[in-house]
A and B are shown apart, each in its own frame.
Chain A
Amino acid sequence: MRPSAVPLLLALLLPAAAHAQEAELRIGYLTQEVEAPPSLSTPDEPVPDAGLMGARLAIADNATTGRFLKQRFELDAVTVAPDGDVETAFRDLAAKGDRFVVLNLSAAAVARLTKPAQAAGVTLLNARAPDDSLRAEGCAPNLLHVAPSRAMLADALAQYLVKKRWSKWLLVVGRRPEDALYAAAIRRAAKRFGATVVEEKRWTAESDVNRTAEAEVPVFTQARAHDVLVVADEIGEFGEYLPYRTWEARPVAGTQGLVPTSWHRTHEQWGASQLQNRFKALAHRPMTPADLDAWTAVRLVGEAAAQTRSTDPAALATHIRSPGFAMSAFKGVPMSVRPWDGQLRQPVLLAADRSLVSVSPQDGFLHPKTDLDTLGFDQPETGCKPH
């Protein structure tokens, strides 16, 4: 879109909003169906509307608040087919007037959208891709990250393991590219918090070892002395087969076992049970991390609109990134945006399948500004260069 087209578009939109005597803010939600590779080791079916229902709940929450401020919120949710074009779908949303678009997309798709979004004056809210590259060389002034990065997840786990004095790790890495990225974050976290990866092993089996795991895993996990097995297997190809089958009696953590995550169904502190209840009433299923990230993304915009009493997208985008902005999101401390890479600061939950074990940052991991900045890339380490 040429720059001259923007004022025209705004001029077209404004009378409509004035007519209703309510300011309207449209928020886009963009996701793409993926043909999921078989995640062999987990019995759980993928949740098709994970993320979307979180966004829907947040729009309802925004609207409840907006009623008192004469602000109306609409969600434009688009699901692109597996072979569809995400960029075209994005341009359609921008043409509709959406100046905030929540992305439940892969890192590659997010990277493709940053340029067109900049041209259209759209702020992107990444509510899924944990890739640290998007917060470093792939960063953009109009790209915010609501989902925690892999570095944040790994740091959250590392702090807890170090606190427990389980500081010798056996790292088991799957064969997919994202597993390598997860493993890199684990290695970085070990170094930061004084743990050691004593040995690294690659799980390369393409076959399902469901029936043979009891024989395979003990042999596979014979390694140098370690306190804990850390696994990097994001899609769950084999990770669930590891606990209880290791050569030595060692806990499993990482992508399976004790998992660092933005949300968990057993989290109830700091008012979280209220959000869980509201979500269940809407979606008739437990809230997933994708739902929470999408909820937070949409609420971020609503919260900025309430705080500034404005629906001007540019003003809201500036406010969200300003040092004075903070919002509460059921994890006990205010969340805000890191100015250096657009990442939302947040505590990270550490959960087992049916129990919330802990919440990081752990006590004693201190930071001069906020302890939340002990998770992920801090300002001096950022790979995001100003544009």
Chain B
Amino acid sequence: MKRLLPALLLLGLAPGASAGTIYVSNEKDNTVSVIDGGSLEVVDTIKVGRRPRGITLSKDGGQLFVCASDDDAVQVVDLATKKVVHDLPSGHDPELFALHPDGRQLFIANEDSNVVTVVDVPTRRVTYQVDVGVEPEGMAVSPDGRWAVNTSETTNMVHWIDTEKRATVDHTQVGARPRYATFSKDGRQLWVSSEIGGTVAVIDAATRKVTKTIGFKLKGIAQDKIQPVGVRLTDDGRYAFVALGPANHVAVIDAQTHEVKQYLLVGRRVWQMDLSADQKTLFTTNGVSGDVSVIDVEKLSVVKTVKVGRYPWGVAVKG
């Protein structure tokens, strides 16, 4: 056993070597853990506002935006000094957001007030707000910037915001409690997870119709405990990864055939995920066990677990 360990460690280090820096928001610690992609160890902890959930990097990678839900603010963290430099006007109870490819417009889901708030990042002003369904949650912007989509958890819909018209133009019904949405790299597909429905919908962006609904089955785990939350697609169109929440597994889906290939055991209540810049490593936040699982995308295996703060929620990898 002892002799095996160094070998395992080396395996663990190999994919991480080019993984950059990993930022993880800790919902119940009011902090962001900073993990070094090389050593896969926590090297710093940044103090942020209350109940940090969704996080995303600025286009140049110099800043981290943090939804501090209980402070009703999106905070901007300067990654050089690792300090909160200012807040963006976010609307009430921000949970998740998505940055437009122009790097300026930040689309924020305001869970308590049934609106999406669009903020112009450089001027820190609210540009406009759009009414959506009850409990808006997931946000995604298409790679060409035309669409911003929002999922509403109690209305069970995807709301399509035309970013030119600044209004919703269509609504797609999906399974119960849709939590997360992400576009494929080519912008043709939108993938949406439904936590209570227990499914992931693949939506054709052109027709805005559901073309495929993917279900999950895990031996020994009750069907109603399989609750898909985070979704990540590899840029090459090969894999879709789906975090199954309290089922404590990440589903690996063939993104072409939509077949579930396998399930990877990770920490407890797996929530959100992000890929390294080279797409070789996937990081998952495990809320209840308070750690991050590091997955080798080539081998499809968990290579390391990194302890972070209480209830890790969001994760963003800087290349």
Q: A: which residues have CB within 8 A of B?
A: 61, 64-65, 67-69, 271, 274, 277-278, 281, 299, 303, 306-307, 309, 326-328, 332-334, 370-372
Contact = CB atoms under 8 A, between A and B. Distances in A.
Nearest to A369: B223
A68 B176 contact: no
Given A277-B112, A333-B224, A65 B176 contact: no
Contacts of A281: 112
B196 A328 contact: yes
20 contacts: A61-B134, A61-B154, A64-B133, A65-B154, A67-B131, A68-B133, A68-B155, A68-B157, A68-B159, A274-B112, A277-B112, A278-B112, A306-B173, A307-B173, A309-B173, A328-B153, A332-B227, A370-B222, A370-B223, A371-B222
Interface string B113-153: 01000000000000000010111000000000000000011
Contacts of A69: 171
A334 B197 contact: yes
Given A274-B112, A278-B112, 9 more contacts: A65-B134, A67-B131, A68-B133, A68-B159, A303-B156, A326-B196, A326-B197, A328-B176, A332-B227
B196 A65 contact: no
Contacts of B173: 306-307, 309
Given A277-B93, A334-B224, A271 B177 contact: yes
A116 B173 CA distance: 36
A98 B98 CA distance: 43
Interface in B88-113: 93, 111-112
Contacts of A334: 176, 196-198, 224
B216 to A, nearest CB: 14
A165 B121 CA distance: 56
A306 B222 contact: no
A326 B196 CA distance: 9
Nearest to A333: B224
Nearest to B172: A68
Contacts of B223: 370
Contacts of B111: 274
Contacts of A299: 154
B171 A68 contact: yes
A307 B194 CA distance: 14
B177 A64 contact: no
| Nearest 9 interchain pairs by C-beta | A328-B196, A65-B155, A333-B224, A68-B171, A328-B176, A328-B177, A61-B134, A64-B134, A334-B196
Contacts of B135: 271, 274
Interface string B160-196: 0000000010010100110000000000000000011
A198 to B, nearest CB: 34
A327 B135 CA distance: 15
